[in-house]
């Protein structure tokens, strides 16, 4: 992501086919599967936890789109570098935590 920020790009519309969307959705759902298994082991109220997770995901996704549109349009290169740096830092944190 950081390297891509420095590459010249043409503006093109993102097009995904059914196979790519299916693979992306499966990859995204692996995290939810792990959380579900953890909730089963901890004897947690799954309905309440699912509700809270859904509301938080909705709010953060909405804020991400709003902030991304505002920040990304004005500072596209800096946004990609910042996003890449955050991902690298999260990876380092999870590696050593």
What pLDDT was estimated at residue 93? 87
What percent of the chain stands above pLDDT 70? 91
The stretch 61-68 carries a mean pLDDT of: 88
What pLDDT was estimated at residue 89? 92
Q: pLDDT tens digit string along 42-52?
A: 888 888 988 99
CB atoms within 10 A of CB 72: 15
Task: Report pTM.
Answer: 0.52
Q: pLDDT tens digit string along 70-82?
A: 876 777 778 788 8
């Amino acid at each position: 992501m950081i390297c891509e920020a420095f590459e010249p790009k043409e503006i093109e519309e993102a097009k995904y086919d059914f196979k790519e969307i299916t693979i992306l959705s499966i990859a995204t759902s692996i995290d939810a599967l792990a959380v579900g298994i953890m909730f089963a082991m901890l004897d947690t109220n799954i309905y309440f936890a699912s509700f809270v997770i859904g509301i938080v995901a909705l709010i953060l996704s909405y804020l991400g789109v709003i902030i991304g549109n505002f920040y990304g349009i004005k500072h596209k290169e800096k946004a990609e570098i910042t996003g890449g740096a955050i991902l690298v830092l999260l990876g380092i944190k999870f590696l050593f935590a």
